[in-house]
Amino acid sequence: MRVMSDNYQEDFASFARQFVQSYWETVKNGDFPMPPNEPVEETVEELIADVSYTTELMNAADKSSALYELVMTSRLGDWWRFGFQRDPAGWNLVKCAARSDDDAQPHDLLDAVYSQYFNPFLMHITDAANLRKRI
């Protein structure tokens, strides 16, 4: 079993790779159907090839409470911004936003409107990525 290193940025980059993989595997599998609930015809590899992602340390005042960000962007211009903090058990999702039609107001996927759909989906992906990283 692999354990988290003391290098938080390196550890987060590794977690982010697992998160992106788990995200698109979950989308492909249809485990959390959402409107319009259309089948995904692309392979996981094709879905991942259609996005890029970056990671960044957002605040470095204290390693234990630092916020790390994963931004995933599709070729079509959609984007998702995930904020994570680390604790002894792994990485925890603390915020998530996605592109909306109004660039000034992205969708907060963890707010009262969207969380009923996205929270179970995103927690599943976060747990899967943490588990993969430990193996």
Q: Is the pLDDT of residue 5 over 70?
A: no
Question: Where residue 6 falls among pLDDT bands split at 50, 70, 90?
Answer: low
Q: Which domain holds residue 127?
A: 8-134
Which pLDDT band, with edges at 50, 70 and 90, does 64 fall under?
Answer: low
Q: What is the DSSP string of 44-94?
A: HHHHHHTEEEEEEEEE-S-GGG-EEEEEEEETTS-EEEEEEEEETTEEEEE
pLDDT at 30 over 50: yes
Tell me how many domains the chain contains: 1
* pLDDT score at 3: 43
Evaluate if residue 133 carries a pLDDT over 90: no
Answer yes or no: is 71 within a domain.
yes
pTM for this predicted structure:
0.89
Instruction: Tell me, yes or no, whether 127 lies in a domain.
Output: yes
